[in-house]
Amino acid sequence: MPEKYQYYRLWADVDLNAIRSNILKVQKNLSEHVRTCAVVKADGYGHGAVQVAEAVSDLVDFYAVATIEEGLELREHQIWKPVLVLGYVHPSMYESAIMNGIRLTVYDLSIAKGLSAAHERLISQAGSEQVKDAPIHIKVDTGMSRIGFFPSRESVQVLKEIASLPGIRMEGIFTHFANADDETTERALDQLDVFRRFLSELEAEGLHFPVRHCANSAAATCLQEAQLDMVRLGISMYGLYPSCYVRQIPLEPAMSLRSHVIMVKKIPAGTPVGYGSTWTAPEESVIATIPTGYADGYNRGLSNKGYVLIGGAKYPVVGRVCMDQMMVDVTNPLEGKGGEVREGDEVILVGRSGDLYITAEEISELAGSFNYEFVCGISKRVPRIYH
């Protein structure tokens, strides 16, 4: 282990080149005109939104975030490409969104009216040369039953009204798949069909959108016909798979989670380990303490279930995962050769050691979760080290 990292209890290594190469691999499957939106919400799925956005800026055309604060963070770091907020924004932030060129998702009439009013207020303060039109993206609900307009006749009329509001520019329209990562593409294709029919209705009414988009990572990799004008890449950028069914493209996980052994001790047979004494040494055992716990995002559900890699061998987590520490039975490896485990040895929680690899997918599934939640859950106090 590099000496300097012993300063940290644990850390997340983030390989920015892996993120770049994952984008390039997905883009190989895209038609030439299709734009790429890098989804960097939730601090770049835990990888660091600003660092990721900077590292991929020459490869993408758009960024997507979940909150206005996430969008403003990009602007504060001189990231100027278009940013789309995918979710709710409080009306008090509309002026700030307009001034920063941050695109809002419009899923009902009141958002558009509020934005238009905010635009007028800005013009009355600064003059019309100073304030650009507010580009918006209309959200259509084709099967998620989350935010969005229903693809109905009534919605066509509402969208016409929105298009006529002063200060509003219809830049994009999008929908989101509920099942793009399914075993079959049937349901996603149904949603795509609904979306396309709605787009034709809008076009017949004179409503045109330069950026029509619907594909997330799963659809961008498996549904050629869903690419439209832009794809929104989240999980695949980070080298993780949307589900076990979507593994067409070999991706490289960008994050590994590492720590080190801070104490090794021998305990006699019959000695309990951890809160609640849920594990008892069946024989004389060697226990290593790792300074990583559920407050770091290492799920408590991994108590007596998880495993780690030390020196190219796999060892089980024993007892309950504590808030800031956990214990590992290093008496005998589950896999790999192993040797004597010593204080200071590097511990791989997710990532490679020798021939062995622990994926975010397998470890999160053991805890009853999934890879998206695992990487987003690596807490703020875990330093990210960039390569």
Ligand X SMILES: *Cc1c(COP(=O)(O)O)cnc(C)c1O
Residue type, 141: D
Site size for ligand X (CB under 6 A): 13
Distance CA 60, CA 239 (A): 16
Closest contact distance (angstroms) between CB of 172 and ligand X is 12
CA atoms within 13 A on the CB side of 90: 3
With CB under 6 A as the contact rule, which of the stretches 197-205, 214-222, 287-295, 328-336 interacts with ligand X? 214-222
Stretch that binds ligand X, among 25-33, 186-194, 216-224, 260-268 (CB under 6 A): 216-224
Q: Mention every residue, 6+ apart, whose C-beta is less than 8 A from residue 36.
A: 23, 26, 27, 30, 59, 60, 61, 62, 230, 231, 233
> In the complex with ligand X, which residue's Cβ is closer, 105 or 325?
105
**Cα separations in angstroms, 302 against 94, 327, 328, 356:** 42, 11, 12, 19
Comparing CB distances to ligand X, the nearer of 9 and 41 is: 41
State the nearest-atom distance from the C-beta of 86 to ligand X, in Å: 5
In the list 14, 30, 39, 223, the residue contacting ligand X (rule: CB under 6 A) is 39
Of the candidate spans 90-98, 232-240, 265-273, 377-385, the one that interacts with ligand X by CB under 6 A turns out to be 232-240
End-to-end CA distance of the chain: 15
Determine if 71 is a binding residue for ligand X (CB under 6 A): no
41 in catalytic set: yes
Please list, in sequence order, all residues whose beta carbon lies within 8 angstroms of the beta carbon of residue 307, skipping any fewer than 6 positions away: 314, 315, 316, 317, 334, 358
The answer to whether residue 216 forms part of the interface with ligand X (CB under 6 A) is yes
Residue 81: other Cβ atoms inside 10 A: 14
Q: Please report, as residue ranges, which positions from 235 to 294 form the binding site for ligand X (by CB under 6 A).
A: 235-236, 242
Quote the tokens at residue 384.
Answer: 């990210």
Q: Of the candidates 44, 234, 253, 274, which one interacts with ligand X according to CB under 6 A?
A: 234
The one catalytic residue in 88, 265, 275, 337 is 275
Give the number of other Cβ atoms within 10 Å of residue 129's Cβ. 7
Q: Is 167 in the site for ligand X (CB under 6 A)?
A: no
Q: Does residue 86 interact with ligand X by CB under 6 A? A: yes
Alpha-carbon distances, residue 223 vs 10, 300, 307, 342 (angstroms): 39, 37, 36, 49
Q: Does 212 bind ligand X (CB under 6 A)?
A: no
Contact with ligand X (CB under 6 A): which of 155, 217, 227, 371? Answer: 217
- 176 lies in the binding site for ligand X (CB under 6 A): yes
Query: Does 384 help bind ligand X (rule: CB under 6 A)?
Result: no
**Choices 195-203, 228-236, 259-267, 302-310; region in contact with ligand X by CB under 6 A:** 228-236
User: With respect to ligand X, which residue has the nearer C-beta, 124 or 224?
Assistant: 224
Cα–Cα dist 316/294, whole Å: 16
Shortest Cβ 234–ligand X spacing (Å): 2
- Are 36 and 27 within 8 A, CB to CB? yes
- The residues carrying an active-site annotation are 41, 275
Residues of this chain that bind ligand X (CB under 6 A): 39, 41, 86, 176, 216-218, 232-236, 242
